Amino acid sequence: MEISTVRRRVQETIDRARRAAAERRQRTDDAARQYDLFLDQVAVPMFKQVASVLKAGGYPFGVMTPGGSVRLTSEKTADDYVELSLDTAGEEPVVMGHSRHSRGRRVREIERPIGVGPVSALTEEQVLDFLMLELEPFVEK
């Protein structure tokens, strides 16, 4: 094979990789801006509402907002929580839900995406659905 052909193919690969990386950085930046709005306008208020209802029902939970996430934490066991965060490690940024619940030695950890599509398309209903599903182990007697 001619060196010129190899050189051209290598250069095309480098250019394609650089374009893809620039596009991925742009998607991540856009998603981060959308996620900040989502946290402020949708997720944090919904988590606070749920925590308020849980407290009124005798389940002490608090809301924390550590480093770009929102977390509903049991006030009885700090290791038990439900949280949302932005995962930018994949090809497309996605809001991930994560929950951890322990009972004795058994620990249940779940991590899954919340909704599909761009961060800006996530709704209060999707956040509430996630919270209701993940709270079941915390409130069962």
- Return d(Cα 36, Cα 119) in angstroms, integer: 10
Domain that holds residue 117: 3-139
- What pTM was estimated for this model as a whole? 0.83
Number of domains in the chain: 1
DSSP H/E element including 84: strand 81-87
The answer to whether the CB of 39 falls within 8 A of the CB of 124 is no
Q: Residue 38: in which H helix or E strand, if any?
A: helix 3-38
Q: How many residues does the chain have?
A: 141
- How high is the mean pLDDT in each 10-residue block of the chain (141 residues)? 92 94 88 91 95 92 90 86 90 90 84 85 92 88 62
Structure tokens at 57: 């029902």
